[in-house]
Amino acid sequence: MHILVTGGCGFVGANLVPTLLSDGHRVTVLDDLRTGRVEYLKDLDVEIVEGAVGDADLVAKLADTADAIVHLAAAGSVVDSVADPAANFAANVVGTFTVLDAARQTGIDRLVFSSTGGALIGDAAPPVNERSLPKPISPYGASKLAAEAYCHAFAKSFGIRTVSLRFANLYGPFSGHKKGAITVFFRALYNDDPIIIYGDGKASRDFMYVDDICDGIRRGLTADVVPGTVVHLATGVETSVAELADACRRVAGKPDHPIEYRPGRPGEVGRNFATYDLAAELLGFTPSVTLIDGLSRTWKWYCEHVFA
């Protein structure tokens, strides 16, 4: 297939695009390069177009020659969405609508959308699944829920085979520009600064190595599923922030590195992890990388590429 990947110069795209190429697909990347980096895809046979997903004419032009779209472009920070909800809405809701409408206009059959689990569901008793009632508590979570709704509506109204994949908390190579806990913890460990934890450390997440997410996306591109399908890509393992900090200290060889606790921040979910039963049933998906193994690989990459 010829696959258009929005946000392809970002964290997930940098890991996904090489796998799509190795599968024999042709890839075009659309990225505004605000956080993505062209060098992440250097030496790859891929067309990179600089532009925004909100540019309807550009997106339609690129979609016109594509067979499928992987829509990764997004404003992904909960904290930033609380600080500037309008910008988050423009990037995530308007951007997704623009991509979907381009798919409608050009007759694209398949679109894989990168959604989220924890932020979209909100504070709910874990483990959550596809039947859990979404009650987002941040503009970011609300924007992903709205985008999922548009994916479902375009599937039912126009026959686009949309697959919304609710990602667990991702980590791995090419994430040096991200603002997530693992990036922040690794920077603190490398710089000998205290690890900062907001709240009491009992907040939990489902952490997934990026290779497993890429496997799920590839399966979403080819699986015979009902248009409008939504599945969680998760590990089913709950890890508290305090446990994550301990794991990061272990892989960095600094088990006694200091931790500093600060007040919690608004918009962030307490406990969250999800089951992947439906993804296993519909996509044949099973995560394969343990947290310690994934963190070890990620720490090694950071030391070679970010901290070098």
**The dihedral sign for the CA sequence 190, 192, 193, 195:** positive
For the chain, list the domains and their CATH numbers: 2-171+207-234 (3.40.50.720)
> Residue 196: pLDDT above 80?
yes
Cα within 13 Å of Cα(115), Cβ side? 35
**pLDDT at 190 exceeding the cut of 80:** yes
Residue 172 buriedness (CB in 10 A; 0-12 / 13-18 / 19+) = buried
Catalytic member of 140, 150, 171, 276: 140
Average per-residue pLDDT for the chain:
96
CB atoms within 10 A of CB 63: 26
In degrees, rounded to 5, the angle at the alpha carbon of residue 121 between the alpha carbons of residues 151 and 31 is 50
The pair of structure tokens assigned to 119 is 């932020």
- The DSSP secondary-structure symbol of 274 reads B
Instruction: Tell me what the mean pLDDT of segment 22-45 comes to.
Output: 96
Q: How far is 110 from 160, CA to CA, in rounded Å?
A: 6
Report yes or no: 112 and 167 within 8 Å, Cβ to Cβ.
no
Whether residue 280 has pLDDT greater than 80: yes
**Main-chain dihedrals φ then ψ at residue 259, nearest 5 degrees:** -120, 135
Cα angle 87, 93, 95; round to 5: 85
Q: What is the pLDDT of residues 36-95, one digit of tens each?
A: 999 999 999 999 999 999 999 999 999 999 999 999 999 989 999 999 999 999 999 999
Question: Helix 210-222 to helix 11-22 angle, to the nearest 10 degrees?
Answer: 50
Q: What global pTM score does this model have? A: 0.94
Q: Is 140 a catalytic residue?
A: yes
- On whether the CB atoms of residues 233 and 279 are closer than 8 A, the answer is yes
Q: Is the pLDDT of residue 308 over 80?
A: no
